[in-house]
Amino acid sequence: MATNRGAMGGAVFFENAGFSTFFNNTLLRNQAGRGGGVYSGDGTDGIALVNNVVAFCSSGVTTSNSVQFRHNCVFGNGTNNFVGWPDPTGIDGNLSVDPQFIENPEFGTAHMKSDSPCRDAGDTGVAQADWLDINGGARVRGVAVDIGAEESGDLVRWDTVATNTGPRFEWTEPEPAVAPARFFRATSQP
């Protein structure tokens, strides 16, 4: 999910939700007064956030609830990556490094570079055999699941082409199964 705006939880808002799970998602450039990426508020019994990228939002993950936080990459989120709880970077596979995305603003998409630190860095234990990534490909392709919504390995590249009206992006290889103007969808799987 990208470029969303809200008062709380620019991308994801949990409140009065019981125990909630949120696995294998990419949240980019979301904005909110509190919890630009994720906000977990009152009445939530706890959340499990596993294998997610939360990057370049106004703030990262805001919660005062119980959190199971494993194999996530939270990076470059405005004023702070974590609000209301201790920074878990370096514990349980959690990273705070640039996830290395190539963004294509013309198509509203972003794809993980082959040298991304999120590649093969997730918790494969939460990925079910029939789960697919955002492009409709197998959820696990390498030695472990990737952190984020997309599993690396799709042949997706684009080049900037100069025109008389400015730069334009052109696909040099087909983008598999991703419609133009769609970014990442959130999939919370039980």
Q: What is the mean pLDDT of the chain?
A: 79
Closest by Cα among 57, 46, 38, 25 to 134:
25
Residue 74 has pLDDT above 90, yes or no: yes
**Mean per-residue pLDDT, 124-146:** 88
The first and second tokens of residue 108, run together, are 């509203």
pLDDT of residue 106: 59
CA distance linking residue 122 with residue 125, whole number of Å: 9
CA distance linking residue 7 with residue 88, whole number of Å: 25
51 in Cβ contact with 148 (< 8 Å): yes
pLDDT-derived band at 189 (thresholds 50, 70, 90) equals very low
What's the predicted TM-score (pTM) here?
A: 0.79
